[in-house]
A and B are shown apart, each in its own frame.
Chain A
Amino acid sequence: MPAAADKCDCFTTYIESSAALLDLVIRPEWMQGVQTNLEISLRFACLLEQFPLPDETEPAPVYEA
Chain B
Amino acid sequence: MNAILADPTWLSANEIAASIAGGATTASAVIDATLKRIEKLDPALNAFTDVVATRARDRARALDAQLTGGSSPGPLAGVPFAVKNLFDIAGLPTRAGSKINRDRPAATRDAILIERLEAAGAILVGGLNMGEYAYDFTGENDHDGNAANPHDLSRMTGGSSGGSGGAVAAGLVPIALGSDTNGSIRVPASFCGLFGLKPTYGRLSRSGTFPFVANFDHLGPLARTTLDLAASYDAMQGPDPTDHACAQRPVEPVTPLLERGISGLRIGVAGGYFQNGLGPEARMAVDHVTSALGATRTVDVPEAARARAAAFLITTTEAASLHLDRLRTRAADFDPAVRDRLLAGTMIPASITGRAQKFRRWYRGEVLQLFDSVDAILASATPITAPLIGQQTFLHDGKEIPLRANIGIYTQPISFIGLPVVAVPVPLQPLPIAVQIITAPWREDVGLAIAHALERAGAAGAPRPKI
Contacts and interface: CB of A to CB of B under 8 A. Distances in A.
Interface of A: 1-2, 14-15, 18-19, 22-27, 30, 33-38, 40-42, 44-45, 47-49, 51, 53, 57-61
Contact of A48 (B313, B332, B417): B313
A48 B346 contact: no
Query: What are the 6 tightest A-B residue pairs by CB atom distance, in nearest-first order?
Result: A33-B340, A37-B344, A44-B309, A59-B357, A60-B360, A38-B344
A53 B359 contact: yes
B310 interface: yes
Interface residue SS majority, chain B: helix
Given A44-B312, A48-B355, A60-B215, A24 B328 contact: yes
B297 interface: no
A25 B331 contact: yes
B109 interface: no
A41 B359 CA distance: 16
Given A33-B337, A40-B405, 16 more contacts: A1-B349, A22-B346, A22-B347, A25-B328, A26-B343, A33-B336, A33-B339, A36-B344, A37-B344, A40-B312, A41-B344, A41-B345, A44-B309, A59-B361, A60-B358, A60-B360
Contacts of A58: 358, 361
Contacts of A59: 354, 357-358, 360-361
Interface of B: 215, 303, 305-306, 309-310, 312-313, 316, 324, 327-328, 331-332, 336-337, 339-341, 343-349, 352, 354-362, 364, 402, 405, 417
Contacts of B303: 51
Interface residue SS majority, chain A: helix
Contact of A14 (B312, B341, B347): B347
B332 to A, nearest CB: 8
- Which of A23, A26, A37 counts the most chain B CB atoms within 10 A? A37
28 contacts: A18-B346, A18-B347, A24-B327, A24-B331, A24-B343, A27-B332, A30-B331, A30-B336, A30-B339, A30-B340, A33-B337, A37-B344, A40-B344, A41-B313, A42-B348, A47-B306, A48-B309, A48-B310, A49-B352, A57-B358, A58-B361, A59-B357, A59-B358, A59-B360, A59-B361, A60-B357, A60-B361, A60-B364
